[in-house]
Amino acid sequence: MLGCTPQNNPSDTDTLVINAKTKNFALIGNITGSDEVWFNSGDFRYYLGASRACGTAGTCPDPAHGFPGFAVLGVVDETSVLVETVPQSSASHSVAADSERNFIYVPQAAPVSVVGSGGDITTVGQGICGSTNGCVAVYVHSDDEDDVAELYAAYNQLTPAEQAEYARTVGDNPAAYNIGGDPTSYLTVQNKMLLIGQLRGLYAAYNQLTPEQQAVYSQTVGGNPAEYDIGGDPLSGLTVQNKMRLIGQLRGN
């Protein structure tokens, strides 16, 4: 993605994405005027510090010349489609992302009345910051509806026994945000999808044991193959690995 403030030419209305290997390119409509752009590997989205998104070659907004819009934070998905734009202070042109937490950071300028030239000529920055001091706005990309729908679909493929174990671990509602404690954390859904995969794999392996092997397994870790009593951590890969290793040993004998 090219962040080069193409709105210096008011006829430019698109942002360009180029495949570095094939040289093929895509145009993203209705977003331009970016200084800095950032690809966040945590949610596979591009974020644009589009300080001249209103169309002017100067500072947004510029109503005297027919450009009443604002500088914006642009959000573009992995298919190069514009998802949304979020108004920012007039001098806002920088953006960065934390891929672990999916936090998006956008510095906001203090009002021009406070700092003079280069300051925010709107009230947007003040509204975001809650003061006239300027700040760094922090946005979070929370779980999309598609993520939750995918989680429900995977949950509904579990057997009643697997669903009971899931409920014991994270609650009856597969989308309840009680792993990690953060209702906006993308990692929450990822953790639950991981748990579902572990449950299905572990039960499938357990069901391949003979009754005699299942009896030995039960003596070692309990009657329920998904009971997390080795390692003590319901999300620990080592817990499942230990049990899968035990199952492999039993089948080998």
| Confidence at residue 75, expressed as pLDDT on a 0 to 100 scale | 92
* Spatial separation of the C-alpha atoms in residues 128 and 87, rounded to whole Å: 10
Q: In a 3-state reduction of DSSP, which class is residue 66?
A: coil
Q: Which residues of the chain have pLDDT under 50?
A: 177-187, 228-238
The whole-number pLDDT of residue 9 equals: 65
Domain residue ranges in the chain: 6-140, 145-252
Helix, strand and coil percent figures for the chain, each rounded to 5: 35, 20, 45
pLDDT score recorded for residue 140: 81
Please say whether the beta carbons of 95 and 75 come within 8 A: no
Tens digit of each residue's pLDDT (9 = 90 or more) over 123-164: 999 998 989 999 999 988 765 556 666 777 778 888 887 787
| Contacting residues for 242 by C-beta, under 8 A, at least 6 apart | 230, 231
Is the whole-model pTM more than 0.75?
Answer: no
